[in-house]
């Protein structure tokens, strides 16, 4: 599979269609892992790999906030279906235009969050949690596709994990999240890994007024985690990078998916599917339901 | 250190009864930064205002908190007083201890404690208040009136007679609107056209009015005082400057079988036509969809017979642009079609009434044409099916209106009165005829309206039956009306010669498109929303756009005309000054931290957010940011909420100020 990818990348670079390819590369010191790499020289496309260890969502590198790939010239990005959803969302949010980017889509049967789990075969056990409900195993949009098209997962219930959470009483849920957020060390890895956290000055860094207290007071942790989740409501594409990078193992994607379900139910909207769709929380409609205002 | 003065108002007993104002003033004096505190019976009175002015001068105050009623009531009063004492008016705030406190509490201890909190909160806010300067925008002293019905005509004439230029826009070939179709008007029974046509003629000849008929609104850009409007002048296929209005073309046109819009299908018109003889302008248009030349490329009979040579088959639509300072929307209403559900409509039809299938079931507007001296029967009562004089006529009210099952919950307001009028006109024309009116309630509020109803019942013998009609069907040339008389508790069956339905008054079918073009709000029925139902019934939430007539809600002629004159007065008020002053409490963008997601632009109801390019000295684009047009911004704050990086602030309501208020409460 890596071979097909390398051929596409070489051609794009040689023809000058792009100046940089954002992809995954091997880690020499640890063969179980892959890492994000930027390839600008056609002779170095051999570095590119594609396998179930390629878990990172590379869309994060497309915005100025994280790494200004755009400054290197026109970019091609290697992207799984979930990554393409993030790209679609970023186009919708006007961070770049579709014409500025070549998407090398990869057909994906799932990835592993820990590379050592995959030793040549994907199973129900080692496949990552986020891949259980995947309906974009073939990316919804791409310029080149690596591999054969893969049909979406036929999940019985797209929101099984969320429903389990919802079965708890509000008190139990509150306690559950309090317990989770108590462990937060406010390293902001979740923010750094998220393609949608592209603000150059995060609300967490604003001091006048200070929206979120600094330090690891439980109240401050709660404020950060709620604000993070709310800022992503209706935008998060559930790629699960925040949860993967969290050093203390907070199930952040579960919280994201809870909000995504609310948006799906209340607004009939799923993020990352259509760059032309109006985002539900950034749309003014006279006919919006206001019955809850009393 | 701040130097703030606190002024606690008793509002007589309004506040004083449930808030110990003296104690509030005493507690306020202890707040750090408060250097003056007092209470008084009526702060809004002249002596009350004088206390504020004196304290500003004597104590060198740099902030004022007036604890009194809602800022909606007296904020202007106090800000003006503060300004007169030489302080920036935006350094004064009101703390609402009446509506939000004394009026909702019974216990004086509770009320006082809450009032102290409310004052404390506002003191902390005022400490962070910045002096603001009202935004000044120039005014283009020309108005656009959209809609040439009686409301639009009245508004245009009033503005023009106030010596300001007006563009009157009408999409039909002639002005006049629905009123020109009416026979006589309630409650005086004067002829509708007789009272309307003089106004139409005045419009046409007024030097201040530019009349654009057969033209539609394309686009509205800009903001209060500075709108740019694009108008599509549809091709008439007739040269307006050459045509003399002789009418020969209409006589000679071989197409004769097009249902007349003006006569609501009760007569036929040619393909080249004026809607009615008194049309203004009296220049025909060619209906391209039905003209043989436009369909088949051959005919040109009108051209051949046109003496002055005014026919222009090659005429094309023209887009014209005007700068205007104010817009009056007077687009009127449409009538509910009780037949089949119109495509795209959410409102169900009335299949059980057989409208469209039974020729002698007609709607109210058709009856108007039937009763009108200028109508297809020249005012003689002739039913459509066989032209016979109907001896029994049933009138059905509330067809659609007040009927949640059909999707309309509101009362159409005008039908009670026009149905009385219809029955009366009928009785005046057919002395031996019987008129029955099925009604739910008779709503005759209005000057001389109830007397008019009594006259119909007592002098003209109109029979009112309180109940609904379940079904209409044809039998032996009659229309059988089956209904209920709920007052006698019986079923009623009337063999009528003709049935007239008082169909609900709806918004224009394209009212939502028009609203979106102009940027004004509308309700779920498509009627345009006024700014305030009681205190700003003519204004919209978009500054510089006013409403007149039935486009806002069902209205009769006197109401439509009154509102039109109101709208005109508002326009003239705007045009009385060279520059408009706008509240400076608008949104501003921090361009350093803006990441150009443009959620603000998407969410802005007023289209006030624009994209702005930030360039370096050499003109290279550094980045895009959002920019708030201060002429358009209404200070609603939606963009502030939508901004994920908190890069937008609402002046006068900054996050910092709101935090200070919350923190004061949390202390």
Compute mean pLDDT per 10 residues along chain B, 667 residues long, and list them: 95 96 97 97 97 97 97 94 97 97 96 97 97 93 98 98 98 96 95 95 97 96 92 96 94 94 94 95 95 94 94 96 97 85 70 82 95 93 95 95 90 96 96 96 96 96 95 93 95 96 94 93 94 93 94 97 98 95 93 95 91 94 92 90 94 95 91
Burial environment of residue B379 by CB neighbours within 10 A (0 to 12, 13 to 18, 19 or more) = middle
Phi-psi region of B111 (alpha: psi -120 to 50; beta: other; left: phi over 0): alpha
Q: Residue A256 contacts by C-beta under 8 Å, 6 or more apart in sequence?
A: A229, A232, A236, A238, A242
Q: B284 and B237 in contact (C-beta within 8 Å)?
A: no
User: Largest Cα–Cα distance of chain B, in whole Å?
Assistant: 94
Residues A192 and A124 in one domain: no
> Chain A within 8 Å of B645 (Cβ-Cβ)?
yes
Nearest CA in chain B to A90: B597
Domain chopping of chain B, boundaries: 4-128, 142-332+510-575, 337-506, 587-651
CB contact under 8 A, B644 and A211: no
Residues A134 and A170 in one domain: no
Residues A9 and A57 in one domain: yes
Q: B446 and B556 in contact (C-beta within 8 Å)?
A: yes
> Does a structural domain hold residue A268?
yes
Distance from CA of B532 to the nearest CA of A (A): 16
- Tell me the pLDDT tens digit for each residue of A84-96: 999 999 999 999 9
Where in the sequence is the domain holding A122, given as residue range(s)?
2-146
CB contact under 8 A, A201 and B522: no
Q: Examine the fold and report which residue of A116, A146, A176 is the final residue of a domain before the chain moves on.
A: A146
Residues A96 and A17 in one domain: yes
Confidence of residue A66 (pLDDT cuts 50, 70, 90): low
Please tell me the least confidently modeled range out of A148-157, A267-276, B291-300.
A148-157
Enter the tokens of residue B79: 């800000």
Residues A223 and A184 in one domain: yes
Classify the C-alpha dihedral B13-B19-B20-B21 as positive or negative: negative
Residues A119 and A204 in one domain: no
- pLDDT averaged over chain A? 92
> Chain A within 8 Å of B493 (Cβ-Cβ)?
no
A interface with B, Cβ–Cβ < 8 A, is: 64-65, 93-95, 198-203, 206, 208-209, 211, 231, 278-279, 281-284, 286-287
Burial environment of residue B44 by CB neighbours within 10 A (0 to 12, 13 to 18, 19 or more) = middle
Separation between Cα atoms, residue B296 and residue B290, nearest integer Å:
10
Closest to B589 measured CA to CA, from B643, B542, B543, B631? B643
> Does a structural domain hold residue A154?
no
- Tell me the pLDDT tens digit for each residue of B211-267: 999 999 999 988 889 999 999 999 999 999 999 999 999 999 999 999 999 999 999
Compute CA B102 distance to the chain's CA centroid, rounded to the nearest angstrom.
36
For residues A12-23, b (16+ Cβ closer than 10 Å) or e, as one string?
A: bbeeeebebbbb
* Closest residue to A284, CB basis, from B603, B624, B659: B603
Separation between Cα atoms, residue A238 and residue A57, nearest integer Å:
11
Closest to B186 measured CA to CA, from B667, B556, B632? B556
Nearest CA in chain A to B528: A286
CB contact under 8 A, B597 and A94: yes
Residues A45 and A73 in one domain: yes
- Tell me the pLDDT tens digit for each residue of B98-110: 999 999 999 999 9
Q: C-alpha dihedral over B14, B16, B19, B20, to 10 degrees?
A: 180
CA-based angle A161:A165:A167, to the nearest 5? 115
Residues A175 and A260 in one domain: yes
CB contact under 8 A, B647 and A201: yes
- What part of B 522-541 touches A (C-beta under 8 Å)? 522, 524
In DSSP notation, A238-283 reads ---HHHHH-TT---HHHHHHHHHHHHHHHH---TTS-TTSPPGGG-
Q: Examine the fold and report which residue of A146, A179, A195 is the final residue of a domain before the chain moves on.
A: A146
> Chain A within 8 Å of B641 (Cβ-Cβ)?
no
Enter the tokens of residue A277: 């769709």
Parallel, antiparallel, or unpaired for β B184-185 and B190-191?
antiparallel
Residues A170 and A69 in one domain: no
CB contact under 8 A, B595 and A203: no
Residue A285: per-residue pLDDT: 81
Parallel, antiparallel, or unpaired for β B142-146 and B326-329?
parallel
Distance from CA of B23 to the nearest CA of A (A): 32
Indicate the DSSP class of residue B553. S
Fold for the domain defined by B4-128:
Rossmann fold (3.40.50)
Q: What percent of chain B has pLDDT over 70?
A: 99
> Chain A within 8 Å of B452 (Cβ-Cβ)?
no
- Tell me the pLDDT tens digit for each residue of B288-319: 999 999 999 999 999 999 999 999 999 999 99
- Size of chain A in residues: 294
Whether omega before A183 lies within 30 degrees of 0, making that bond cis, reads no
Residues A137 and A189 in one domain: no
> Chain A within 8 Å of B346 (Cβ-Cβ)?
no
Q: B563 and B555 in contact (C-beta within 8 Å)?
A: yes
Q: A109 and A126 in contact (C-beta within 8 Å)?
A: no
> Does a structural domain hold residue A151?
no
Residue A115: per-residue pLDDT: 86
CB contact under 8 A, A209 and B659: yes
Separation between Cα atoms, residue A159 and residue A155, nearest integer Å:
9
Q: Kindly indicate whether the domain formed by B337-506 is annotated with CATH number 3.50.50.60.
A: yes
Distance from CA of A192 to the nearest CA of B (A): 15
Q: Examine the fold and report which residue of A86, A120, A146 is the final residue of a domain before the chain moves on.
A: A146
Nearest CA in chain A to B639: A282
ipTM: 0.93
Name the strand (E) or helix (H) holding A77. strand A75-79
Domain count within chain A: 2
Q: Which residues of B touch A202 (CB under 8 A)?
A: 645
Residues A92 and A178 in one domain: no
Residue A76: per-residue pLDDT: 96
Same fold, B337-506 and B587-651: no
> Chain A within 8 Å of B615 (Cβ-Cβ)?
no
Fold for the domain defined by B587-651:
Alpha-Beta Plaits (3.30.70)
Residue A121: per-residue pLDDT: 87
Nearest CA in chain B to A92: B597
- How far CA A181 is from CA of A219, B200, B407, B598, in Å, comes to 9, 73, 49, 31
Residue B341: per-residue pLDDT: 67
* Closest residue to A203, CB basis, from B522, B597, B646: B646
Residues A124 and A39 in one domain: yes
Instruction: Please identify which residue in the block is written with the tokens 């206390």.
Output: B51
Q: Which residues of B touch A200 (CB under 8 A)?
A: 593, 595, 645
| CATH superfamily entry for domain B142-332+510-575 | FAD/NAD(P)-binding domain (3.50.50.60)
CA-based angle B589:B583:A294, to the nearest 5? 85
Burial environment of residue A83 by CB neighbours within 10 A (0 to 12, 13 to 18, 19 or more) = buried
* Closest residue to A282, CB basis, from B524, B599, B660: B599
- Tell me the pLDDT tens digit for each residue of B8-44: 999 999 999 999 999 999 999 999 999 999 999 999 9
């Amino acid at each position: 599979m890596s071979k097909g990818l390398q051929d596409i990348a070489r051609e794009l670079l040689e023809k000058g269609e792009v100046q940089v390819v954002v992809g995954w590369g091997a880690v020499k010191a640890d063969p179980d892992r892959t890492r994000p790499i930027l390839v600008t020289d056609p002779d170095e496309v051999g570095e590119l790999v594609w396998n179930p260890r390629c878990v990172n969502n590379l869309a994060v590198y497309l915005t100025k906030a994280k790494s200004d790939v755009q400054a290197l010239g026109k970019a091609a990005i290697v992207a799984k279906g979930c990554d393409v959803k993030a790209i679609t969302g970023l186009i919708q949010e006007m961070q770049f235009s579709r014409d500025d980017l070549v998407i090398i889509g990869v057909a994906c049967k799932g990835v592993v969050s820990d590379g050592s789990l995959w030793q040549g075969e994907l199973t129900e056990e080692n496949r990552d949690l986020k891949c259980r409900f995947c309906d974009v195993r073939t990316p919804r949009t791409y310029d080149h596709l690596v591999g054969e098209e893969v049909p979406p997962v036929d999940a019985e219930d797209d929101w099984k994990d969320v429903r389990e959470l919802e079965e708890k009483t509000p008190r139990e849920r509150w306690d559950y999240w309090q317990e989770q957020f108590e462990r937060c060390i406010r390293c902001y890895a979740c923010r750094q890994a998220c393609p949608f956290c592209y603000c150059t000055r995060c609300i967490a860094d604003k001091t006048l007024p200070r929206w979120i207290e600094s330090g690891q007071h439980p109240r401050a942790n709660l404020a950060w985690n709620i604000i993070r989740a709310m800022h992503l409501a209706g935008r998060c594409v559930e790629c699960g990078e925040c949860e993967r990078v969290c050093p203390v193992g907070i199930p952040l994607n579960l919280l994201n998916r809870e909000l995504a379900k609310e948006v799906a139910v209340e607004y009939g909207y799923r993020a990352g599917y259509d760059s032309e769709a109006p985002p539900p929380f950034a749309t003014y409609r006279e006919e919006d339901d206001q019955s809850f205002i009393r | 250190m701040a130097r703030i003065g606190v002024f606690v108002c008793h509002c007589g007993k309004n506040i004083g009864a449930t808030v110990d104002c003296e104690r509030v003033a005493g507690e306020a004096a202890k707040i750090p930064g408060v250097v003056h505190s007092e209470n008084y019976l009526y702060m809004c009175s002249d002596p009350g205002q004088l206390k504020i002015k004196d304290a500003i001068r004597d104590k060198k105050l740099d902030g004022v908190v007036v604890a009194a009623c809602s800022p909606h009531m007296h904020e202007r009063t106090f800000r003006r007083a503060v300004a007169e004492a030489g302080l920036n008016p935006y350094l004064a705030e009101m703390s609402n201890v009446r509506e939000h406190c004394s009026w909702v509490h019974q216990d004086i201890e509770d009320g006082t404690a809450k009032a102290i909190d409310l004052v404390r909160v506002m003191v902390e806010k005022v400490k962070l208040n910045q002096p603001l300067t009202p935004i000044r925008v120039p005014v283009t002293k020309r108005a656009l009136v959209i809609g040439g019905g009686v409301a639009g005509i009245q508004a245009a004439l009033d503005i023009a007679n106030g010596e300001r230029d007006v563009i009157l826009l009408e999409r039909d070939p002639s002005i006049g609107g629905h009123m020109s179709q009416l026979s006589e008007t309630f409650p005086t029974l004067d002829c509708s056209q007789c009272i309307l046509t003089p106004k139409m003629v005045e419009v046409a000849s007024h030097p201040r009015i530019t009349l654009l008929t057969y033209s539609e609104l394309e686009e509205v850009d800009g903001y209060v005082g500075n709108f740019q409007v694009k108008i599509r002048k549809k091709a008439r296929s007739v040269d307006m400057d050459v045509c003399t209005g002789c009418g020969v073309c209409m006589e000679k046109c071989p197409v004769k079988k097009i249902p007349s819009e003006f006569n609501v299908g009760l007569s036929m018109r040619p393909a080249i036509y004026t809607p009615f003889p008194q049309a203004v302008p009296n220049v025909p248009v060619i209906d391209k969809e039905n003209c043989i030349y436009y369909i088949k490329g051959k005919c040109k009979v009108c051209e051949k017979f046109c003496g002055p040579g005014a026919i222009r088959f090659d005429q094309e639509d023209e887009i014209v642009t005007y700068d205007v300072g104010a817009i009056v929307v007077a687009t009127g209403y449409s009538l509910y079609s009780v037949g089949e559900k119109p495509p795209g409509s959410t409102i169900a039809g009335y299949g059980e009434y057989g409208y469209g299938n039974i020729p002698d079931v007609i709607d109210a507007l058709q009856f108007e044409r039937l009763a009108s001296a200028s109508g297809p029967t020249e005012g003689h009562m002739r039913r459509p099916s066989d032209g016979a004089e109907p001896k029994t006529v049933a009138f059905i009210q509330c067809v659609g209106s007040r009927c949640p099952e059909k999707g309309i919950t509101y009362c159409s307001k005008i039908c009670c009165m026009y149905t009385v009028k219809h029955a009366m006109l009928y009785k005046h024309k057919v002395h031996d005829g019987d008129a029955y009116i099925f009604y739910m309630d008779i709503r005759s509020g209005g000057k001389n309206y109830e007397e008019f109803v009594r006259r119909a019942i007592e002098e003209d013998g109109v029979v009112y039956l309180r109940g609904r009609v379940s079904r209409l069907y044809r039998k032996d040339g009659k229309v059988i009306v089956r209904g209920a008389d709920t007052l006698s508790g019986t079923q009623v069956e009337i063999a009528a010669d003709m049935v007239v339905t008082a169909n609900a008054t709806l918004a224009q079918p394209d009212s939502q498109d028009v609203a979106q073009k102009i940027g004004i709000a509308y309700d779920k029925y498509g009627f345009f929303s006024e700014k305030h139902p009681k205190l700003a019934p003519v204004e919209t939430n978009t500054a510089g756009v006013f409403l007149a007539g039935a486009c806002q809600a069902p209205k009769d002629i006197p109401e439509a005309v009154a509102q039109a004159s109101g709208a005109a007065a508002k326009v003239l008020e705007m045009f009385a000054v060279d520059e408009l002053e706008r509240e400076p409490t608008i949104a501003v963008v921090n361009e350093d931290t803006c990441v150009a997601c443009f959620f603000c632009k998407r969410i802005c109801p007023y289209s006030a957010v624009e994209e702005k390019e930030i360039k370096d000295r050499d003109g290279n684009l550094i980045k895009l940011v959002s920019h708030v047009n201060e002429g358009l911004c209404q200070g609603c704050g939606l963009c502030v909420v939508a901004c994920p990086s908190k890069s937008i602030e609402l002046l006068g309501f900054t996050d910092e100020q709101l935090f200070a208020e919350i923190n004061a409460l949390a202390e």
